[in-house]
Structure 1
């Protein structure tokens, strides 16, 4: 009941705040599940993921172009998750990861359309730019997990185990790469993994320039229009 009331409080002035909190919660949850038993780990992470999906959809319901698509993805993800749990089909992991990537990509596209190079800049839009950054890191984390499904030796320092156990490691490596820190504890081995990694590093460098220029130009345009 309390969660339902919170979701109803989400509006176009604070939606990106709730969405960003949900994404941060997913990252923290991904790290937290590693301290619980292996049997409950994936179910707990799936719970965090579904909660994030619900908050994202509530935050983006104002974008009618993507809301139906996001609802469809969530429904399909739940069905695939149930099939995997009941029938024990391991190949469903790849499908679940692909659906999760599509969800993050759709969310990213919807937010970008609402905040980049459009309208005046407010706190909600600034927080939305943080959500975009988090989504970039999450999308690449999912890409690394998919890559590990097909190429178990693609990375050093990251074992080919279930995606639930590997999610936190993949997210850590993704954000380290996105911010070009490069600690070196996890590194790509195969040519395809190397390409995916340096593409993320390139996107990370250009993201800041694009977002800053977008917010500045939008604010200048708003001031010009306001002053006539």
Structure 2
């Protein structure tokens, strides 16, 4: 990402991802969530790497039909061949790289504006999704890692449940309807809670630091101008 990127595209893509998985799980069978998630992953990809394009809609829209079909059939082949973990690892790599790019632009870089605030929200959502993928991978690799989670479900059936659990954990709500059972799953849960709390502390520190810097710069400028004016007046008086 560059400093000129607009995080509004990424914000809408992430919200669409969360909403789409919930609606697909609520109203459709197991085949539709796979298509919805594949389509939204492509939307997320275009949003992250295409936001610096001036003609974003005109130049990128045409790739959606082909990309959706490609990811849908490719994802179905991976699941049928027993490589659903590979699919999740690809998604995890994409989310982590997106989070790193977003963090470099948002935290401790320049003045705080509306775009930076949207970027901070995007980073928080990306962290929740990263842990949701990690929980899904753990459940697939070690069945029974979490309570109230089916041990024989496909990844696209588990993923919406772990999105819910991830954001409950990162916000430290802890409803208790889903809980970790194995040491590795417990580690991921409390580590996510720690990262979530540290992120909020770092974000607040960044906002306050930026505000104080702007405040000091705005108040120092009139003082400097007044000092220069006073010096000029003294010089005139000596003449």
The TM-score bracket by the shorter chain reads 0.7 to 0.9
Q: Structure 2: where are the runs of 5+ without partners?
A: 55-68, 222-239
Distance 1:88 1:144 in 2: 18
Q: In structure 1, what is the equivalent of residue 212 of structure 2? A: 220
Query: Any idea what SS the aligned residue of 1:59 has?
Result: coil
> Structure 1 residues 61 and 148 mapped into 2: Cα distance closer, same or farther (>3 Å)?
farther
Distance 1:80 1:92 in 2: 14
Distance 1:165 1:201 in 2: 24
> Structure 1 residues 218 and 54 mapped into 2: Cα distance closer, same or farther (>3 Å)?
same
Instruction: Specify which of 134, 139, 142 is matched with residue 143 of structure 1.
Output: 134
Distance 1:12 1:87 in 2: 37
Q: CA deviation at 1:12?
A: 5.9
Which structure has the bigger radius of gyration?
2
Using the size of structure 1 for normalisation, the TM-score is 0.80
> Structure 1 residues 217 and 38 mapped into 2: Cα distance closer, same or farther (>3 Å)?
same
Count of matched residue pairs: 205
Distance 1:136 1:60 in 2: 23
Q: In structure 2, what is the equivalent of residue 31 of structure 1? A: 22
Contact 1:119–1:222 (8 Å) recurs in 2: no
Instruction: Specify which of 191, 211, 218 is matched with residue 203 of structure 2.
Output: 211
1:168 aligns with 2:167: no
Q: In structure 1, what is the equivalent of residue 235 of structure 2? A: none
Contact 1:119–1:219 (8 Å) recurs in 2: no
Distance 1:104 1:182 in 2: 24
Distance 1:207 1:87 in 2: 35
CA displacement 1:134-177 (0-9 Å, x = unmatched): 01100000000110110110000121311111121000000000
Distance 2:28 2:14 in 1: 21
Q: CA deviation at 1:44?
A: 2.2
Contact 1:147–1:193 (8 Å) recurs in 2: yes
Q: Structure 1: where are the runs of 5+ without partners?
A: 1-10, 63-77
1:113 aligns with 2:104: yes
> Structure 1 residues 20 and 215 mapped into 2: Cα distance closer, same or farther (>3 Å)?
same
Q: CA deviation at 1:45?
A: 1.7
Distance 2:53 2:201 in 1: 28
